[in-house]
Structure 1
Amino acid sequence: MSGTSGIRRGGGRDRDTAGRARNARPRDGLGRPLPYEADGVERQPEGVVRGPEQTVAEAQALLEAGKPFHAHEVFEDAWKSGPEEERALWRGLAQLAVGLTHAARGNATGGARLLRRGAGAAEEWAARTGRARPYGMGLAELSAWARELAEVVEREGVAISAQAWAPRLRGRDA
């Protein structure tokens, strides 16, 4: 057993207790694998069912801590466990968090692509449902933030600070 709870090492691939392939290597704050013996940041548990308000609050705290990869995991849980009519919303928000992750890792092309894809998904969901502020989140503001960041990372071509660029999911007044 590695230092990651419930994951066995050996036999070629790390596996969880159900036998699914899982990487047991510790990770840094941006989700990059580290050597097995390194100290990493605590992983976000997967498959947690949260209510929408808790999802937004947890993701916001992770974004503010400079951990967009972990925020993506929270949004992914909502995407996979939430009501069918909201899955596109949570998937779009997960794409925004992954886009921020790639931009912070220095992957300008992938970061910009995912930021724009997530912005488009959020805008499309809002237009389709007529809900521009689900759970207090300003989707137009988030989309504008994502498009601005996409332009910055393409123009600058260098890694950005995930913490400095963390979006406010509920806007500046929340």
Structure 2
Amino acid sequence: MSGDGGRAGGGRDRDAEGRARSARPRDGLGRPLPYGAEGVARQPEGVVRAPAETVREAQRLLDAGMPFHAHEVFEDAWKSGPEGERELWQGLAQLAVGLTHAARGNATGGARLLRRGAGRVAAYADGGGETYGVDVAGLVAWAGELAGRVAAPGGGPGAAPPEAAGEAPRLTGA
């Protein structure tokens, strides 16, 4: 790699294995920053965690106002976990990305992802599958309320976006 942020010869950024991967630093909401700027450390990819550890790590990131990074933790869980849990982890990832988009000011996309994620997670209500202590009903209510608020005429485009840490849900309700 060269000294230009990982872009060999000024082309696309590549990781150590040669795969295209942006080396640009990111802010807490996952937005790319200019090369050389101080960014937030990225979540390592492909980490296999126990479900309880996944929930704890995602909650820590949500509380820190980093829902984009929490989504990456949930993504690892859906990619490494059993097929029967995929919808739970994908739904939780969509809730985190929905909060990310809403906090970035994308009210329409944020509301859409919050509703989509809530629909996936809701399938686990009333014994629809192992939830690892996740408060399914609470998350569905949280997502519906936030989606409705950011998509409302007064809360849509032009309104101040919600602050990610202040809007972070409690995954376990505790």
Is the TM-score greater than 0.5?
A: yes
Q: Distance in 1 between matches of 2:128 and 2:79?
A: 22
8 A Cα contact 1:47 1:77, kept in partner: yes
The aligned residue for residue 170 of structure 2 is 168
Distance 1:82 1:153, change over 3 A: same
2:8 pairs with 1:10? yes
Partner secondary structure for residue 90 of structure 1: helix
| TM-score normalised by L of structure 2 | 0.91
Matches within 5 A, 1:74-89: 74-89=73-88
Q: Is the 8 A contact 2:124 2:131 kept in 1?
A: no
Deviation at 1:2, TM superposition (A): 7.2
Task: Tell me the matched-pair count.
Answer: 167
Deviation at 1:108, TM superposition (A): 0.2
* Equivalent AA in structure 2 for residue 122 of structure 1: V
User: Structure 2: where are the runs of 5+ without partners?
Assistant: none
Distance 2:135 2:36 in 1: 42
What is the alpha-carbon root mean square deviation over aligned residues? 1.7
The equivalent of 2:143 in structure 1 is: 146
State the AA in 2 paired with 1:95.
Q
Give the partner amino acid of 1:168.
R
Taking structure 1 as the reference length, what is the TM-score of the superposition?
Answer: 0.91
1:116 and 2:115 aligned: yes
Q: Name the CA shift for 1:63/1:72 in 2 (closer, same or farther; >3 Å).
A: same
Shift of 1:35: 0.3
Give me the identity figure in percent: 71
**CA–CA distance in structure 2, aligned partners of residues 139 and 37 of structure 1:** 41
Q: Is the 8 A contact 1:44 1:73 kept in 2?
A: yes
Match of 1:27 in 2: 26
* Structure 2 letter corresponding to 1:33: P
